[in-house]
Structures are given as C-alpha cells and as structure tokens.
Structure 1
C-alpha cells in the first residue's frame, strides 16, 4: 500500500513549465491528500473502536477514504451529510457509490426528525457522540492535528526533492477545502527555514473562512500559507464553463485532474506563476479523480458545446 513517495513530474501544464507532485498515484483508496491526512489513522490501534464517524458532502473524497479505512480496520463507518440529491440516490456513482459498496452508512441529517435546526457538526456533537461508546470521530476533511504527521511526510519529500535538484525559490501551489494540508506544509517549511513557500486558494468558502480554519489549528499566522485571490467568488460544486474549459486544457498534459478543487487551484497556479515566473513551481495533485464520475456527466449535460467528440 503506497502512501508516500509519489513521483514529481515535469510538465507543460496550461503552457507553463511546472512540476506536478503526483499524489494521485498513491494507493487508490487513500490517494491524494487523504493518504497524507489519514496516515496516522492507518497506523492507529482500532481494537477499542467499533464505529468511525465523519461528515461532509455525499461526494466527499473523505467519504470513500474513511469507508476504506473502516473496512480495513474492521469497524463501521457512519458518515453524516446534510442531504443527498434524489438523482444521486437513484444513480449512485463516484465516492458515494464506492463508499456504499464498502458498507458505509451514509446518514442524511436533513431527513432526521430530531435535527432541531442543528448543523451537521452540531448534530453529531449533541445527538450522536454522547451516546456512542467505542466511536472515533474525525472532523470534516480530516481537519485535525492527527493530519500533521502525514502532511509533514509530504513536506519532507518536497524538501528532499528541492535539495536533490538544487532548486531555490520553490513555490508549492494547491487548492484548499479546510486548508489543513496547505497549513501543515507551510508550517514545516517555515520551521525548517527552507526556501519553499506555499500558496493556496479557497475552493470551499472564501478567504475569511480559510483563515479561520488556519487559526484554529495554528494561531501563529506567520506560519500560514499565502492565499491567492482570484478576483471573483466561485461557489463550491457549481458548474462554470471556465472550469471545464481549463480542466480540458490541463488534462491535455497527460494527467487527469479532478473537477471540484483543481479548477480554482489551476487558476491560482496561472496567476501566481505570472507574478513570479523565475520561481520553481510545483502543483500538488490532490487526487480525488473518482469524483469525476459525477462531475463530468454534469458538465457534459450543461455545456455540451464545450466538448469535442
């Protein structure tokens, strides 16, 4: 089970000479940033755990990863979501389908009689965890200090590559959901006084939301990544013609990207590269391409004219 030491490949990506950290080539069940953030859980003793509890969207990458982890550890995954579209219920695909096939219980909080106006996180904290013995709770997207060790392994791989390649002024770009990976990468590079800077862009929420996530895990803002501002707000999960156009162009380099996070990440790469073209640029592939099973058909239905053949 390969969970580290993914290759770094030089590509002409969107007309830019960049390197791609291919974390999408890690083990399929624990690929991308989830391989990093969940590595400590893979090493953890689950002998006293009978239920793994998480939450997020019905197509979250973490849903499939946590379902794989639960199966591997011999426990039950309970994954709480706000709602599941009727279309997805009728046509299971992507992370949702894969998690169901692994035996996950996906619980739609919006359909529960005792929700009482609570958010999904509040519902779990008030209505689930107090009554669950032998439960292990993982915050949304793996946003917790447990993720630090796995992300620091990723940082070490990047630092070793920089040394081996004799590169200076290295800039690492990745999109952020909770911002956990970007934060722990940045903290490591600053702590080691390396000439590697992390730039990220919020894919979920905005800049204020992302800074809040950073501050909850690391109060010292001098260790935080730089946030790239794209100049307009993109709503998470909404379909944009510029996203699919950019995705098609990016995949022409021979690497499949995913359609929820990578479009804004690639936009951030283009913008940051233009501002500092003499730097060495590394884009971290976050994995998650299983979600394209859902996203790509949606784009084809909404923007058929953007596809050739």
Structure 2
C-alpha cells in the first residue's frame, strides 16, 4: 500500500515504520524535521507540510498518530489549546483532503486515547461505554469527531498506556523504581489500562489489513491492572523497595489536572479487537514484565 503517516518520528510512529517497510508498503511521512528523519529512515519519503496536496488520492491509506505529548507539561489553558489543536486541527485537515478526492484512500486509521472514558471506577468498559467527563475525554471526543467525517473506512485507536523500555510511561517510571522510590499512586485501587508496544503495532497492522473492521477500538491488553498490583509486581521484579505512597491530593498539587491520567480508574477491555480475531502476544502484565526488564 501507499501510506501517508503522521507522527512518524514519535514513540509509536518510529517503531511502526520498520514494520510497514518490511511488509512492502511505501511510506510518505509528515514530520517537522524531514532532513533529520530522512537520515534515520532513508527508504521513507518525508514531507514537512500538506500544503502541496489538494487531495490524498495518491494514497491507499492514512495513519494519523500525530499529537503534542499529553503528559509533558501542566495543563494550563494555553497548553490545553495546544493539545487540542495538535490533534484536532491536523485530523480535520486530513479528513478534508480525503473528502476532496475522486479516489480517496480506502482506510483512515487515527489516534485517540482511553482518556475518552475518564474515571469509571471498577466498572468494566468496552467500546460501547459512553464518554466520560474530563478534559481528556473532551479532547478525545473532538479528535474522534474530526476523524469520523472522512468518506472512507475509519478505525479509531483508543490507546491505553503503552509499555516499552524505549519510551512512553515505562521510561519515566523505571528510573524511580530502580532507585527504590516506587510506590502506590493515590488509593492504588484504580485500574490502569495498558498495552505492550508490540501489541500496539500489531493491532495497527491488523486493522490496516482488515477491511471488515471500522469504528472505535480499545487498544489495550485484555487484563487491566490495578496500580497497587503494578507497583507490587514491578518492585518485586526489580528487587527494590516500593513502599512510597503519593496521595491523590499531593499528585494533584504537583501535576495539576493531568494527575487524573494516573488516578482515574479505567477497567477497559479490548472487546471489538478480540471479536475481530486479533490475538494479543502479551495479555497480562506479569507475562510482559520479564521482557520489559530484560530489554
């Protein structure tokens, strides 16, 4: 396939490119630093903007993974606007270009996040569950709404916390635990939805080549884990003390509103992905953990 990829130099995108190339796909990638990216991936055509395109008829599929990192900065009014614009504006542009064509791409795969559901306590969540009430939920709702306007097959990736030593949440967490500073966050009873990077990438490839699949998909392992169990398993595996405790009120003082990404409880299940026949390589965190630490 001829694929247009955004977010190509991010955590997920840069890991996805080698798999797409290995499968024989031709990639055009949107990035702010095409020269630097070209050195890393010489087989990919990099572009810095979409201004030369009036439609996307030359592509068979679009994979949209772009977006300002959500956890890097405090959610001030200015930062919230930046988070929304980095996702929604580009998605609207891609949708408009898809709809402008006479022979548009047959598939539009676009990011979202499990933040769509906000805090649901211990209730099991599937793709049929309603959106929650929070800034992250509203951000995802707008993002998905922009995607759904495209006149082609649309797959929305409601992505959970992605675990891999090369980046994402684990890259921040591991150094703390290795120093014996690990511990529960908030009550520790909150469920975390998560997915291995391997399963994340394989799920994208699965949806790309499964024309019967459309709509929203929860990209998360079938066994969410409580923060307390995550803390116990990781601390024990590293043979480090893990008895620190950061109460919810302290997290909100230190992190502001984005602390909800750590304290909201989301017992999310990948119902539609499994119904479509996708098989997870890492279904439990305890199975994945030795591979993470070995890496």
Q: TM-score, normalised by structure 1?
A: 0.29
Q: Which has the higher contact order (CA 8 A, sep 6+)?
A: 1
